[in-house]
Structure 1
Amino acid sequence: MAQYLAMTYTADVDWWAPEHAEELAEYRKFGVDHAERITQSAVLHPTSTATVVRVEGARGGQVVTTDGPYAETKEALTGYYLIEAADLEEAVAIAAEIPAAWGGAVEVRPVIAAR
């Protein structure tokens, strides 16, 4: 089986806030329904908690950090699922069931195994 990273792009919200409980339940259902194919998953904190890291010049240059999101967007990277699937077609079929695909987007990429 190959591995695919399904990255969810949705509204940049606090998923633990009570007003998102119903939608979060849909994500939990997806996780249960596809538990045999999901090897890892996570929800990310809102982009306001992010720190962007850059190195000026090349390796060893000055490290510069910026608090908050890199850019303001309608949709942000809000989570991911690491999926095992026979091929891209199967990974896409699974990704289509992630609630983010219904009102946002899910980006699916094959994972290169570490050596």
Structure 2
Amino acid sequence: MAKYLILIYGDASEWGAMTEEQWVAHGAAHEKFAAAAGAKVLGGAELESSAVAATTLRTDASSGRVTTTDGPFLETKEAVGGYYLLEAADLDEAIALAELLPEVHASHSGVEIRPVVQNG
């Protein structure tokens, strides 16, 4: 079995504008995903908004020292809002499960699936 990281991207302002009813439906869709994936979900979590809590580390080329910056490094409309670590037989299975996530079907968000490198 291979491992895949499912990164959930979206526009935080769109998520912030969702009604209580929309959040209930959103949560139900994640529960449907979790039920379908079962033990194949090895972990996952919703992340704090990058506008509220994000820290970027970079090495300053001239001094060689690590600098920290509040907020995400890239200026972008979409930010990572959550993730799942999934174990699946192959990419096709990972895609089939990820298609259940509500972010795949919303106009302001999307899902990226990345294989985890298996060393050794």
Partner of 2:111: 106
Partner of 1:72: 75
1:27 and 1:113, CA in 2 relative to 1: closer, same or farther beyond 3 A?
Answer: same
- Aligned partner letter, 2:23: A
Partner of 1:8: 8
**1:94 aligned counterpart, secondary structure:** helix
**2:38 aligned counterpart, secondary structure:** coil
Give aligned pairs, total: 113
**1:47 aligned counterpart, secondary structure:** coil
Q: Does 2:52 match 1:55?
A: no
Q: Deviation string for 1:8-67 (max 9, x for gaps)?
A: 11122677x974632233223322332221111111100021011101239x92111111
**1:61 aligned counterpart, secondary structure:** coil
**Where has structure 1 moved over 6 Å in runs of 4 or more?**
none
Q: Does 2:100 match 1:97?
A: yes
**1:21 aligned counterpart, secondary structure:** helix
TM-score (norm 1): 0.82
- Aligned partner letter, 1:50: A
TM-score (norm 2): 0.79
User: In proportion to residue count, which structure has more helix?
Assistant: 2
Question: Please, what is the CA RMSD of the aligned residues?
Answer: 2.5
How much identity, in percent, do the aligned residues show? 40
- Aligned partner letter, 1:32: A
- Aligned partner letter, 1:100: E
- Aligned partner letter, 2:34: G
Question: Structure 1 residues 28-37 or 85-94, which shifts more?
Answer: 28-37
